[in-house]
Amino acid sequence: MKLKNEIEFKVWGRYALFTDPLTKMGGEKCSYHIPTYEALKGIVKSIYWKPSLIWYIDKVRIMNKIQTQTKGIKTLKMNNEKNDLFIYSYLSNVEYQVKAHYDWNYHSLKQDKNENKHNSIIKRSLEHGGRQDIFLGTRDCQGYVEPCTFGSEKGAYDEDQEIAYGIMFHGFDYPDETGKNELWCRLWNPKMVKGIIDFISPDKCTIRKFIRNMTPKKFEKKQEGIIV
């Protein structure tokens, strides 16, 4: 049975680029074959986000066959005004079904905890394609969302028993969600079973890397709404 704080949607686009943020600075970029937890969380937050919520990605279903396409991209060199040509490897013609849920963020804006209000706005936002632009891993990969029933329709990998992907980027631990003034990177070992990847929760990730000290953004609530 679907819970009140759950969301199920389909996201698709012409291209996607899901990369490890620790190694993608400059030069050529090559997409993972599957979307990362952090990228999907960014999509859900573009549908609807408030500082009083934390979104958790439960699972993703790969609907289309995994295909890659390379493109030559002109970018500025580091500390140089001249353009340089790099090769980016994108995923092409992607479509995913995503199941996620939210929980309260007790480290931020404790007053804004009206579940009925949030659920109503989430439903309307999803039906209208999100409140912000949807990106599939990077800003040059436009995406689109709409409601769906997770598990409906036929997927390209429904008959595949198991595909393992080794160690991959999972997501970031931000201080506004953890209550600690530190930014950490999480890694994990995903596997796809019959086209579905079940994400472990952030607290179950045992492979972590400290990035830097970081202070959370402060939010406050006024009568007319939430402001930063």
> Structural domain boundaries of the chain?
6-227
Say if residues 107 and 216 touch (Cβ distance below 8 Å): yes
Task: Note the pLDDT of residue 28.
Answer: 76
Separation of alpha carbons 122 and 19, rounded Å: 28
- Rounded CA separation 227/52 (Å): 12
Tell me the range of 74-83, 84-93, 205-214 where mean pLDDT is highest. Answer: 205-214
Fold of 6-227: Alpha-Beta Plaits (3.30.70)
Q: Buried (b) or exposed (e) across 153-162, using 16+ Cβ within 10 A?
A: eebebeeeee
pLDDT, residue 174, reads 94
Select from 77, 73, 68 the least CA-distant residue to 18.
68
Looking at residue 108, what is its pLDDT? 73
pLDDT bin (cut points 50, 70, 90) of residue 167 is very high
> Judging by DSSP bridges, how do beta strands 83-104 and 29-30 pair with one another?
parallel
CA distance 63 to 116: 31
pLDDT surpassing 90 at residue 9: yes
Distances (CA, A) of 185 to 66, 110, 139: 26, 26, 21
Amino acid letter, residue 209: K
Q: Which segment of 61-65, 104-108, 116-120, 209-213 scores lowest on mean pLDDT? A: 104-108
pLDDT at site 223: 47
Identify any residues that bridge with 73 across adjacent strands, giving them in sequence order: 86
Please give the pLDDT value at position 228: 40
**Which tokens hold the place of 212?**
């830097």
For 138, the 3-state DSSP assignment is coil
Task: Record the pTM.
Answer: 0.89
Which residues on neighbouring strands pair with residue 62, listed in sequence order?
96
Q: How confident is the model at residue 71 (pLDDT cuts 50, 70, 90)?
A: confident
Amino acid at 146: E
**pLDDT tens-digit series, residues 186-212:** 999 999 999 999 999 999 999 999 999
